[in-house]
Structure 1
Amino acid sequence: MDKMTEVGLNLLAAVLIFVIGRFVAKTIKKLIARSMGKTKVDPVLISFTCNFGYSALMVFVILAALSRLGVQTTSFIAVIGAAGLAVGLALQGSLSNFAAGVLMVIFRPFKIGDFIDAGGVTGIVRDIHIFTTTLNTPDNKRVIVPNSKIMGDSITNFSAEGTRRIELIASISYSDDIDKAEEILMDEIKKESRILPEPAPTVGLMEMGDSSINFVVRPWVKVPDYWNVYFALNKAIKKRIEAEGMTIPFPQRDVHIYQEQ
């Protein structure tokens, strides 16, 4: 009778452990889903995290219930650990990509539509998945980059700030008037309506080169206007310099020939 009572109590305790543990696991699953949903995390990541966490908790609950029944769970734990190690080694690359995808979703270094340079690829972000990120290059090639490669290197986001600074080099000859050249360059900047007034554009004498005086032209534009303004301003500066009678010199060297007596 005592033995049966002991077995019955252990069985009841195991059932209670399983029922209560299952309830706690479901509650934690809902809390995780609710908290991650508030941060606008990818639904795929929410589902995966919730299911993974629930499964892990249920494994511990089942082991605790079996242990209460007197079942030796050491061997089960060893088998689960060995299986987990084997799966981890087999999926090492995929798990690395997954971890990088989770970090990307949490820290948001870029978003869909941004123009970035990451993982050795430059392009517009089209899709962000758990394991890979899809980019479209400027010549419209689709490149799928593993997330671990992106997060393992530096990321340059050209769209994050909303504005970019153009940097052009305008050259004149040593015989030209540098003050007049500076006025011409500022005038061409003012004519371009897409250039932003703030931050203020700058024009400065950058260097006295081997065969030319080089000015640097640095206006600010909105990110979508960058290349259009870059090309248009280059063309306008070249035409204006020629129209004002100035010259854009070619590299040249003076050669002196001496004749021995």
Structure 2
Amino acid sequence: MSSALNFDLGSLVTTYLIPLAWQLAGAILLWVVGGWVINLVGNLSNRGMTRQKVEPTLIRYVEATLRVIMRIVLVIVILSVFGIETTSFAALLAAAGIAIGAAWSGLLANFAAGAFLIILRPFKVGDFISGGGITGTVREIGLFATTIDQPDNVRTTIGNNKLFADNIVNFSANSARRVDLTAQLAHSVDPQQAMALIRTRIAQIPNVLPDPAPDVEILEFNAAGTKLIVRPYCHNDNYWQVYFDTNKALAEVGGANNWPIPAPHQVLRQPS
């Protein structure tokens, strides 16, 4: 009885456990080596496209897609080590893809929108944009979402479909951006003289472009006096610097020329 039990146990180890252990070891080895190969191929593709001066947005998109595809292939290969029929698994994967696609239609919509963002290129990595209710600098366009750093240094991830379906404002597309400001003058200030002084002072602000030249014109006449529009142009990277420096320049010009503080006033006339 004891010898039969030992024989059955030995047969079980030899027939099942040892082959299973070898299969498990092979699967682990494949996973480690396959992961290394995936990283190697991803890095090589990144370097190759970088040397060819491919758009950084497209590089990240292609690399991410390549890694996902290779990871799926690696899983199929590992399953084949355990004797699972890969053709059946491929069919199962396709069926699962249909089911997942029906349940996760939004995810697929984000994927499709990401492809259109790459093809149509309304913006690229590094551009300052506004879209999907978010304004900031684009850091990455991924398979399903776009990462944006807002001006207050908060990183935000937006689904590609939401971003693509919204109006996209690209502040970096053109070489110059206009800074819109106003200056209220008191009634006693000569607007023509004020405009000449402001133009001269704005031209001295760093990063203000000479072409197109700054706009300083009369916007309206109101109860406080004359209101001017002050519109210097600059590169998008210097927008806030020029914005704040222009405000300071307006205050300096007013103080240097002793302009009174504008205030609404009314003239009452007594009936004769």
User: Shorter-chain-normalised TM-score: which range?
Assistant: 0.5 to 0.7
Could you tell me how far apart the structure 2 residues matched to 1:108 and 1:157 are? 11
Q: TM-score scaled to structure 1, two decimals?
A: 0.66
Task: Name which of structure 1's ranges 185-194 and 103-112 shifts more when overlaid on structure 2.
Answer: 185-194
**1:174 correspondence with 2:193:** no
| Identical pairs, percent | 38
For residue 126 of structure 2, what is the amino acid of its counterpart?
Answer: G
**1:226 correspondence with 2:239:** yes
Specify the SS of the correspondent of 2:203: helix
Counterpart in the other structure of 1:137 = 150
Q: 2:62 aligns with which of 40, 43, 46?
A: 43
1:47 offset after TM fit, Å? 3.6
1:256 offset after TM fit, Å? 6.3
Could you tell me how far apart the structure 2 residues matched to 1:48 and 1:193 are? 46
Could you tell me how far apart the structure 2 residues matched to 1:97 and 1:48 are? 18
1:45 offset after TM fit, Å? 6.6
Q: 1:90 aligns with which of 99, 103, 117?
A: 103
Specify the SS of the correspondent of 2:189: coil
Could you tell me how far apart the structure 2 residues matched to 1:132 and 1:48 are? 17
Could you tell me how far apart the structure 2 residues matched to 1:180 and 1:241 are? 12
1:167 offset after TM fit, Å? 1.4
Q: 1:100 aligns with which of 92, 113, 120?
A: 113
The question of whether the paired residues in 1 share the 8 Å contact of 2:127 and 2:170 is answered with yes
The question of whether the paired residues in 2 share the 8 Å contact of 1:45 and 1:102 is answered with no
The question of whether the paired residues in 1 share the 8 Å contact of 2:64 and 2:142 is answered with no
Counterpart in the other structure of 2:175 = 162
Specify the SS of the correspondent of 2:242: helix
The question of whether the paired residues in 2 share the 8 Å contact of 1:202 and 1:219 is answered with yes
Could you tell me how far apart the structure 2 residues matched to 1:148 and 1:48 are? 22
Counterpart in the other structure of 2:210 = 197
Could you tell me how far apart the structure 2 residues matched to 1:140 and 1:45 are? 25
Q: What 5-or-longer segments of structure 2 have no aligned partner? A: 1-48, 71-91
For residue 98 of structure 1, what is the amino acid of its counterpart?
Answer: F
**1:239 correspondence with 2:252:** yes
Specify the SS of the correspondent of 1:247: coil
Counterpart in the other structure of 2:14 = none
For residue 104 of structure 2, what is the amino acid of its counterpart?
Answer: L
- The one-character-per-residue Cα deviations of 1:163-193 (angstroms, maximum 9, x if unpaired) are 2111110111112111111111111122224
Counterpart in the other structure of 2:165 = 152
Specify the SS of the correspondent of 1:199: coil
CA RMSD, 1 decimal = 3.0
Q: 1:84–1:141: structure 2 CA closer, same or farther, 3 Å change rule?
A: closer
Specify the SS of the correspondent of 2:174: coil
The question of whether the paired residues in 1 share the 8 Å contact of 2:111 and 2:144 is answered with yes
Could you tell me how far apart the structure 1 residues matched to 2:169 and 2:119 are? 18
Counterpart in the other structure of 1:70 = none
The question of whether the paired residues in 2 share the 8 Å contact of 1:168 and 1:218 is answered with yes
- The one-character-per-residue Cα deviations of 1:131-166 (angstroms, maximum 9, x if unpaired) are 011111111111111111100100111112132111
- The one-character-per-residue Cα deviations of 1:46-75 (angstroms, maximum 9, x if unpaired) are 648999xxxxxxxxxxxxxxxxxxxxxxxx
The question of whether the paired residues in 1 share the 8 Å contact of 2:65 and 2:143 is answered with no
Report how many residues are paired.
197
For residue 62 of structure 2, what is the amino acid of its counterpart?
Answer: P
> Which residues of 2 match residues 11-30 of structure 1 at below 5 A?
none
Task: Name which of structure 1's ranges 174-183 and 37-46 shifts more when overlaid on structure 2.
Answer: 37-46
The question of whether the paired residues in 1 share the 8 Å contact of 2:140 and 2:147 is answered with yes
Specify the SS of the correspondent of 2:217: strand
Could you tell me how far apart the structure 1 residues matched to 2:218 and 2:134 are? 34
Could you tell me how far apart the structure 2 residues matched to 1:243 and 1:50 are? 67
Q: What 5-or-longer segments of structure 1 have no aligned partner? A: 1-36, 52-78
Counterpart in the other structure of 2:132 = 119
